[in-house]
Amino acid sequence: MPATSGCDEGVDQALVEKAMDVGRIREDFPILGREIGGRQLVYLDNAATTQKPRQVLDTLRTFYETYNGNIHRSPHLLGQEATDLYLQAHQNVARFIGAEDEREIIFVRNSTEGINLVAYSLLSGGSDQMGLAPGDEVLLTVAEHHSNLVPWQMVRDRKGVVLKFLDIDDEGTLDLEELERSLTERTKLVCLAHVSNVLGTVNPVREIGKLAHAAGALLLVDGAQSVPHLPTAVKEMDCDFLAFSGHKMLAPMGIGVLYGKRALLEKMTPMLYGGDMIADVTLDGASWNELPWKFEAGTPNVGGAIALGGATDRHSGRRLEGAVDYLNRLGMDAVRRHELELTARALQGLRAMPGVRVVGPPQAERRCGVVAFQVEKDGAVCDAHLVAQLLNDVGIAVRAGGHCAYPLMRRLGGGGTVRISVYVYNTVSEVDTFLGALGEIITHKLL
């Protein structure tokens, strides 16, 4: 990876070059060899979903070709093997985020389902601590993804809780003093994204958690845009809940994680009811299984979970590599450094273009690898979808629109944005290709 100018915002170039052989990494991702409109694909939509390496795809195929059986039910060898591999996936994900044990890891479909699980459980009220009453407060921010907003609107409408919202400044940063002033004895929960999917802002969740806990509130962190990109240690963060999605970190779609502190999960009411989440059932009632199965009703996405967490066949020693294994091999510190380099390069190039307005923090080190922007020409904001389509015409995949964060887009002045987002297989050359194409579009194709 060549050294680049203007990318010194907290980035040690020598460490980046030593730590990540991006050319070798790219060989693991078959889709990157595609051409779009006769051009080599430049995939810069990783905040929406990431591509999958051969190792993870092989694990998914191997599970269904070799080990496929239903877990916790069947006494035959396939059922036993599938159950053990699935348990190992819980254990490996727990280690990846620094959780106490696998009982604190609940496999769900995605971050959205994980947040909804917490919302429905609090709505049902398993205990005084883990329930909400009319007049209780849930504290959010204006920058939340709809997945961490709409569930709480549902809770408000059904239970009469009060939703309070923290604002951001012009650089997309939260005011911790405003947070402290907003916390009251009725605040039961603080919910926010660790990283904004629009602004890229890395929020100080550890400090926010200290303030929340001092006020007697719990902290739920939406980690969809942080766990794939930053070293994560839930004990150090001291969050009570953390939700994230496998498909944003090299794993298949349809598998996600809700982490919760064991003492809290024990008190919570399940969201789904049926097979495998019960300890006993009579015609008069039921009792719940132990963690984490209490929250994993029905047949789960076993193959997807193993493709996320990885596992080993204890009899043959065969390794089924998961996305967590792949990221661990790269090293999350190295992932972070690599993304800082690419983000700084993109910010530098976009700032140099007339008519381009970048939203979010100006410094790369205050962001993850997300950069959203608007293009103005002749005093008007250009249609973000048109810009994205013109980029697609030359093989560059980006996202455009409101990014499932409509209140934030209104706070930023209205209109959609174009968003690029980078990951481990992206290169400086790809960022430069994007910048060059955008410059051509602004100069020659936007009326």
Q: Average pLDDT in the 142-166 region?
A: 97
pLDDT, tens digit, 9 for 90 and up, residues 78-93: 999 999 999 999 999 9
Mean pLDDT over each residue of the chain, to the nearest integer: 94
Per-residue b or e along 331-368, where b marks 16 or more CB atoms closer than 10 Å to that residue's CB? ebebbbbbbbbbbbbbbbbbeebeebbbbbbeebebbb
The domain limits of the chain are 13-51+331-445, 56-324
CB 54 within 8 A of CB 61: no
Q: Average pLDDT in the 293-301 region?
A: 96
Give SS3 for 418. Answer: strand
Tokens of 150: 């709409």
pLDDT above 50 for 147 = yes
pLDDT, tens digit, 9 for 90 and up, residues 158-182: 999 999 999 999 999 999 999 999 9
pLDDT above 70 for 102 = yes
pLDDT above 60 for 7 = no
Confidence at 20, pLDDT banded by 50, 70, 90: confident
Three-point CA angle 151, 276, 121, nearest 5°? 25
Query: Residue 3 has what pLDDT?
Result: 32
Confidence at 19, pLDDT banded by 50, 70, 90: low
pLDDT, tens digit, 9 for 90 and up, residues 306-329: 999 999 999 999 999 999 999 999
The architecture of the domain spanning 13-51+331-445 is Alpha-Beta Complex (3.90)
What is the helix, strand, coil percentage profile of the chain, to 5? 40, 20, 40
Query: Residue 74 has what pLDDT?
Result: 87
Query: Residue 128 has what pLDDT?
Result: 72
pLDDT above 70 for 17 = no
Confidence at 125, pLDDT banded by 50, 70, 90: confident
Please state which of the four CATH numbers 3.40.640.10, 3.30.1520.10, 3.10.129.10, 2.40.50.140 is assigned to the domain occupying 56-324: 3.40.640.10
Query: Residue 14 has what pLDDT?
Result: 42
Tokens of 154: 């549902």
pLDDT, tens digit, 9 for 90 and up, residues 361-376: 999 999 999 999 999 9
What are the start-end ranges of the H helices in 287-380? 302-309, 323-330, 332-351
Query: Residue 9 has what pLDDT?
Result: 38
pLDDT above 60 for 5 = no
End-to-end CA distance of the chain: 37
- Run of H or E residues at 55: helix 54-62
Q: Catalytic site residue 404?
A: yes
Total-model pTM: 0.94
Task: Identify the active-site residue in 7, 191, 382, 404.
Answer: 404
pLDDT above 70 for 447 = no
Query: Residue 91 has what pLDDT?
Result: 98
